[in-house]
């Protein structure tokens, strides 16, 4: 008898993620509906896209993610990853997941944590050691910290270990539930750069957040979830463009003394009001520069 299990093959042209009309109603012990967490969410992500799920606390982000990963059974709807059911081996092997809570063993060091996880992926020892070293560096864990027990770590440091674990199997689809929670501004910037890098490498990322700036900085597309429903979805420039109101010009290299003349010219062309101002930095950039100057980062 042939013992080989037959696994479906991923269709080449399928989107990385296709979730259709997902519903989840949590029920109590007696089967009565307790919370309608997700009420018809459809999401799609293509290769190389960084898709953000933005929404306030309790809007259904984590529940949607768990349904996508097959960790929670949907009450309705369907999920395909690389054109396969999320339970298929061919899909699972290509997914990396950072849960909302990192759930790390407090008595293991980051190196041991990752090495153990590498074993679960049947990674060969020498290759695993090398990969673990690379990932610890990538997420900003120093070699001294790599051999300290995770239980002694701050929340942000533990988050980095969770992130490294999510990337261990070199996944094509990376799912990150609140990746920067607990991180300081330096860590947050590093994680944002890392996520952008994953997209640039052609990987697909699905990340949730309730931090607007974070999603704006990193995601190419966003779905806004409110009380279990997608209230807005699209590319960020498309969602944020204001189709009426003032038009802004950015002029670089204009001599200071010519600013007045430029304003006059716009008035002469019919502009009812003209305002010239210098752009301000994001508080994040200002803060990071301050740390850099103080030798802290």
- Interacting residues with ligand ATP (CB under 6 A): 26, 34-35, 37, 55, 57-63, 100, 210
Task: Please identify which residue in 18, 45, 54, 62 interacts with Mg ion, judged by CB under 5 A.
Answer: 62
Kindly identify the residues of this chain, within the stretch 42-61, that bind Mg ion according to CB under 5 A: 61
Residue 58 binds what, of ligand ATP, Mg ion, none (CB under 5 to 8 Å, by partner type)? ligand ATP
Rounded (10°) angle between helices 125-138 and 155-166: 130
3-class DSSP state of 5: coil
CB 76, min distance to ligand ATP, A: 15
Kindly identify the residues of this chain, within the stretch 91-120, that bind Mg ion according to CB under 5 A: 100
Tokens read off for 146 = 């790599």
Tokens read off for 217 = 């900085």
Q: Helix-strand-coil percent breakdown of the chain, rounded to 5?
A: 35, 20, 40
Residue 57 binds what, of Mg ion, ligand ATP, none (CB under 5 to 8 Å, by partner type)? ligand ATP
Number of shown-chain residues binding Mg ion (CB under 5 A): 3
47, 204 Cβ separation under 8 angstroms: yes
CB 194, min distance to Mg ion, A: 20
Q: Which is nearer to Mg ion, 15 or 182 (CB)?
A: 182
CB 100, min distance to Mg ion, A: 5
Strand locations in 178-220, DSSP E? 204-209
CB 19, min distance to ligand ATP, A: 14
Tokens read off for 15 = 């989107």
Tokens read off for 103 = 């759930």
**Do the bridges between strand 76-81 and strand 84-85 make them parallel or antiparallel, or are there none, so unpaired?**
antiparallel
Q: Which residues of the chain form contacts with Mg ion (CB under 5 A)? A: 61-62, 100
């Amino acid at each position: 008898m042939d013992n080989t299990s037959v696994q479906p093959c991923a269709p080449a042209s399928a989107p990385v993620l296709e979730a259709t009309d997902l519903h989840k109603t949590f029920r109590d012990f007696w089967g009565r509906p307790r919370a309608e967490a997700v009420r018809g969410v459809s999401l799609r992500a293509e290769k190389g896209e960084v898709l953000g799920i933005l929404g306030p606390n309790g809007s259904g982000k984590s529940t949607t993610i768990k349904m996508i990963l097959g960790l929670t059974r949907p009450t309705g709807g369907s999920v395909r990853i690389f054109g396969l059911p999320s339970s298929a081996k061919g899909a699972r092997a290509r997914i990396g997941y950072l849960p909302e809570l990192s759930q790390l063993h407090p008595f293991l060091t980051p190196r041991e944590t990752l090495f153990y996880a590498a074993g679960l992926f049947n990674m060969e020892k020498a290759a695993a050691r090398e990969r673990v070293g690379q990932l610890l560096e990538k997420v900003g864990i120093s070699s001294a910290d790599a051999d300290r027990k995770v239980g002694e770590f701050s929340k942000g440091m533990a988050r980095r270990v969770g992130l490294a674990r999510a990337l261990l199997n070199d996944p094509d689809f990376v799912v990150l539930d609140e990746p920067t929670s607990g991180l300081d501004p330096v860590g947050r910037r590093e994680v944002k750069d890392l996520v952008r890098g994953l997209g640039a490498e052609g990987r697909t990322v699905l990340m949730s957040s309730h931090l607007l700036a974070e999603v704006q900085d990193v995601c190419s597309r966003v779905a806004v979830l409110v009380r279990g429903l997608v209230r807005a979805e699209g590319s960020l420039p498309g969602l944020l463009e204001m189709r009426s109101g003032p038009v802004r010009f950015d002029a670089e290299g204009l001599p200071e003394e010519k600013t007045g003349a430029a304003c006059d010219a716009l008035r002469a062309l019919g502009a009812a009001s003209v305002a010239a101002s210098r752009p301000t930095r994001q508080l994040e950039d200002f803060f990071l520069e301050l740390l850099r100057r103080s030798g802290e980062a």
